[in-house]
Amino acid sequence: MQVLFTLVGNRRYAIDCADTIEVLPVVAHRHVGVGPQWLLGLINVRGELLPLVDLSAIVENKPTELRLASRIVLLRLEGELFEGMATKVGLLVPELAGPFERDFSGAGAHPGFAFAGASHLGPTIADSDGMVQLLRCRRLLEGDAALRELPLAAWTQP
Amino acid sequence: MMFGVLPAVAVLLLAFGTNGYRAWTRSTEALDGDLRHAAELIVQKIDALNQRNVRLAQVMASAQESGQFGRRAESLRWIEKIMRDNPQAYGAGIAYEPNADGNDAAGAVEGVPANALGPGGRMFAYLKRDPKAPTGLRLEPLQDTEDDEGLWYAYPKERFARSGARDPVITKPYSYLGTDIIENVAPIIIDGSFKGIMSLDITLSEVQGTLLEEARRLDADLFLATRGLFIAATSDTRGGTSLRTTPVAESPLAPVFKVAASNLGASWTAEDPMLREEAFYVAGMVPTGEWTLLLRKPTSEVTRSVAQVVFWNLATGLVGIIVLVVVLWFGAAALARRVRVAKAMAGRIAGGDLSGDAVDARGADESAELIRAMNDMNAQLQGIVGAVRGACARLAATSAQLAATSQEQRVTVGSFGESTSQIAAAIREIAATGTELLRAVESIDAGARRTAASALEGRARLDAVSGTMSRLDAGTRDISDRLATIAEKAAAISMVVTTIAKVAEQTNLLSVNAAIEAEKAGDAGFGFLVVAREIRRLADQTAGASHDIARIVSQMQASVSSGVAEMSRFAGEMRQGTGDVQAIAGELGEIISEIESSSTRFSDVRTGMSSQSQGVAQIEQAVMQVAAGARQSSASAQEFSRVADELAHAVAVLQDAAARFRLREDQQP
């Protein structure tokens, strides 16, 4: 499978290209000011206003430090949470490389730990640069209790 | 002598006689004119007084006619005021026809005193002066003293009824309750009917006072009469009898007044009945009141003053003639005596005898002056001859001295010539020394000029150095400009590199997205995936290269900046160096100018020296001339000696001539 690598803190994560619509440079966002720390605000993508979510705040519990290599990955999220409707969300990542061909379902892969609230963390593999863990983007927003209080309807596209 | 004096006396006597006769005639004529003129003036004066009083009466009547009639109290107050304002008036009266104002019955009730009322209550008041009354005025009823001719009341009333005349009249003189008066009466006419009269009284004493004043001034008698009655006469005081109010016809003057009636304004002489001697008369008519004035003066008094004048004239003339004859006689005798004395003196002086004493010559006339002039001439001639003799003696001594002195002078001139030659030699030495000094000064001047030339050359070289430094400065500026251009270009390169880096980044993103799309396409997109990966690699390389370029460019910019700083520091040092060079050039310039000025001074010194040299030459020449002069002086001294001898000879001749005169001191021994 084709994945994109990102480095959060000193840990590498992989994002499945199948969940990805496109990669964007960092654009200015409108700050929301309320809600959870990971919800940064709204961005304008060719006329469409979409929520921007901070990956570092979700997985590391601290805000992303912007660099030249920082990118926004436009995700397409589907599943029970979204009642079968596709939702587009911008994910701010500290830096991005790829795509690379990696196999996370092979013999060398560790399936991960099944704790509550860790459903967005997929299996981990090792390559020449060290270990990398796959992010299950569709479940990325599931683990947070505050998520239920969000007006999700506003996030959905008709 | 008698023939000169007697005709003059005769002519003078004739002139005095003629003059006396003419003075007599002219004086009598002038006196006649003067008296007539005086009578005219008196007439005018009395007429003016009469007019004033008549007008006052008329004014009083006019006041009644204009509304005062019937207001008795007010009328009384008014005549009282008139009395106070006119001290010449003796009394003023108001008389109404019986019950003319309708107030006769109630007359006293109005506050009018009973004294103002006549019989039946008619207004019949008279206000007269009374020194005994407290206010000086007394009010009393009028007394009807009119005789049959009609005086102050009946006459104007009858006159108005007869002719409608309403102008005021002056009554004849009469005695009212013992006071001699005339009255100025004006009728009150209202609505064409006679209502009464207003009167103003003047005493005859008042008129006589005026006449007396004039008579005293003229020293003559004056008489005033009207309607055959005397008003006043100044001879009253002489005769002791009063002529006032008496008829003219009964007086001794009746014939004179008869003549006067036909001679108004003229003068005549006649035997006066009162004085029993011839008198001079002048008559005149006072128009207001038709009064006749008569002026009388005895003829003896008129001519007395004229006769005195003529007598004194003749007496003074006779005395003058006698004095003149005596003075002329004595004057002529004295003159003849002195002329004889002068003749004798002149003869004596002509004979060469100056030894006579001065002749007595007192007096102020021309003959005394002639004698004094002869005395002066004699004295002065004595002085002159004495002085000539003294001068001759002194001249003889002086000419001897001159001869001796000229001998000494010849010797002195010889020794002076030698001294002159020594002075000339000394002067030549001074000239030689001066020339040497001049030469030394010229060599110093030449040295100074060479120094100035060297300094000028040095300054020119310094100017060249200064020019070079200026060019170097300009070059430095040029280099600085070029370095600035390089810095600009480097900035432009940096911008281009940034653009390239941005493009590389975009390309990188594009290749990532292309790879994602290729992945979605599955196996069909595999080839595209490879291309995308290749593109991404190229983009990464581009990014690396552009980073290198940026680093190099920034190094270059740093070098250029340090180069610019270095250049500007160098340029600053260069400018300071240029300034120093210019300062040195300035100092050199000062040195040159000083040398030039000293050269000018040297030139002055040289000019001075050469002019001194010329001066010395001139002195030398002058000394030579002096030596020549000394030689000439020697010749002149010889000539002088000869002239002194001739002078001695001439003096001897003069002494002989002076000895001819005989002086007073010659007789003394």
What count of residues does chain B have? 669
B505–A2 C-beta distance less than 8 A: no
Chain A residues in contact with B516 by the CB 8 A cut-off are 2, 4, 17, 20, 22-23, 99
Contacts of B45 (CB under 8 A, 6+ apart): B210, B214
Instruction: Please give the Cα distance from B294 to A73 (Å, whole number).
Output: 169
Q: What's the pTM? A: 0.40
Structure tokens at B411: 């010797």
The Cβ of residue A19 has, within 10 Å, a number of other Cβ atoms equal to: 20
Predicted pLDDT of residue B543 = 85
Structure tokens at B113: 């005193």
Comparing C-alpha atoms, which of B176, B147, B156 is closest to residue B57?
B156
A96–B516 C-beta distance less than 8 A: no
Comparing C-alpha atoms, which of A50, A55, A48 is closest to residue A7?
A55
Q: What are phi and psi of B81, to 5 degrees?
A: -65, -40
* Whether residue B238 has pLDDT greater than 50: no
- Specify the DSSP element, H or E, that contains B649: helix B526-658
The Cβ of residue B140 has, within 10 Å, a number of other Cβ atoms equal to: 16
**pLDDT confidence band for B110 (50 / 70 / 90):** low
β-pair type (A11-16, A130-135): parallel
Predicted pLDDT of residue B44 = 92
Instruction: Please give the Cα distance from B89 to A120 (Å, whole number).
Output: 162
Q: Are B342 and B376 in contact (CB under 8 A)?
A: no
**pLDDT confidence band for B48 (50 / 70 / 90):** very high
Would you call A46 an interface residue with chain B, using a CB distance cutoff of 8 Å?
no
Q: Is A35 helix (H, G, I), strand (E, B) or coil?
A: coil
B512–A98 C-beta distance less than 8 A: yes
A2–B519 C-beta distance less than 8 A: yes
Quick one: CA torsion of B42, B48, B50, B56, rounded to 10 degrees? -160
pLDDT tens-digit readout, A87-115:
788 888 888 887 888 888 887 888 877 77
Given a cut of 70, the residues of chain A with pLDDT beneath it are 78-86, 116-117, 141-158
**pLDDT confidence band for B237 (50 / 70 / 90):** very low
- Return the residue in A16, A23, A96 with the most chain B beta carbons within 10 A, the one to mutate for interface testing: A23
pLDDT tens-digit readout, B363-379:
777 777 888 888 888 88
How many contacts (CB atoms, under 8 Å) link A and B? Answer: 31
Q: Is B574 helix (H, G, I), strand (E, B) or coil?
A: helix
Burial (CB count <10 Å: 0-12, 13-18, 19+), residue A157: exposed
Question: Tokens 């506003």 label which residue?
Answer: A154
Q: Which of residues 5-24 of A touch B (CB under 8 A)?
A: 17-18, 20, 22-24
* Whether residue B205 has pLDDT greater than 50: yes
- Specify the DSSP element, H or E, that contains A89: strand A87-93
Q: Which of residues 96-115 of A touch B (CB under 8 A)?
A: 96, 98-99
pLDDT tens-digit readout, B559-584:
888 888 888 888 888 888 888 888 88
**pLDDT confidence band for B628 (50 / 70 / 90):** confident
Instruction: Please give the Cα distance from B611 to B621 (Å, whole number).
Output: 15
A23–B516 C-beta distance less than 8 A: yes
Instruction: Please give the Cα distance from B211 to B223 (Å, whole number).
Output: 8
How far is residue B495 from each of residues A68, B358, B554, B632, measured CA to CA in Å?
A: 18, 152, 11, 121
Instruction: Please give the Cα distance from B250 to B257 (Å, whole number).
Output: 12
Residue A90, CB-side half-sphere exposure with 13 Å CA sphere:
25
Q: Which of B144-153, B292-301, B413-422, B615-624 has the lowest mean pLDDT?
A: B144-153
* Whether residue B172 has pLDDT greater than 80: yes
Letter for the amino acid at B128? K
Quick one: CA torsion of B325, B328, B334, B336, rounded to 10 degrees? -110
Per-residue pLDDT averaged across B495-513, rounded?
Answer: 87
**pLDDT confidence band for B1 (50 / 70 / 90):** low
Residue B97 backbone zone (phi > 0: left; psi -120 to 50: alpha; other: beta): beta
Q: What is the CA angle B100-B106-B112, rounded to 5?
A: 90
Chain A residues in contact with B509 by the CB 8 A cut-off are 23-25, 71
Q: What percent of chain B has pLDDT over 90?
A: 2
B519–A99 C-beta distance less than 8 A: yes
The alpha carbon of B163 is separated from its chain's Cα centroid by a whole number of angstroms, namely 72
- Return the residue in B503, B510, B511, B512 with the most chain A beta carbons within 10 A, the one to mutate for interface testing: B512
For residue B264, the 8-state DSSP code is B
How far is residue B197 from each of residues B147, B184, B193, B264, B479, measured CA to CA in Å?
A: 17, 10, 12, 33, 143
Chain A residues in contact with B535 by the CB 8 A cut-off are none
Question: Tokens 């001068």 label which residue?
Answer: B391
Burial (CB count <10 Å: 0-12, 13-18, 19+), residue B29: exposed
**pLDDT confidence band for B212 (50 / 70 / 90):** confident
Per-residue pLDDT averaged across B297-311, rounded?
Answer: 79
Query: What's the mean pLDDT when you consider all of chain B?
Result: 81
Q: Is B634 helix (H, G, I), strand (E, B) or coil?
A: helix
Structure tokens at B245: 């109010």
Structure tokens at B393: 């003696």
Predicted pLDDT of residue A94 = 87
Q: Are A20 and A98 in contact (CB under 8 A)?
A: no
CB neighbour burial string for B1-25, b if at least 16 within 10 angstroms, e if fewer: eeeeeeeeeeeeeeebeeebeeeee
The Cβ of residue B221 has, within 10 Å, a number of other Cβ atoms equal to: 24
Comparing C-alpha atoms, which of A76, A78, A87 is closest to residue A22?
A76
B519–A17 C-beta distance less than 8 A: yes
Per-residue pLDDT averaged across B487-507, rounded?
Answer: 87
* Whether residue B313 has pLDDT greater than 80: no
When CB atoms are compared, the residue of A2, A18, A22 closest to B513 is A22
Letter for the amino acid at B9? V
Per-residue pLDDT averaged across B443-451, rounded?
Answer: 79
Instruction: Please give the Cα distance from B546 to B535 (Å, whole number).
Output: 16
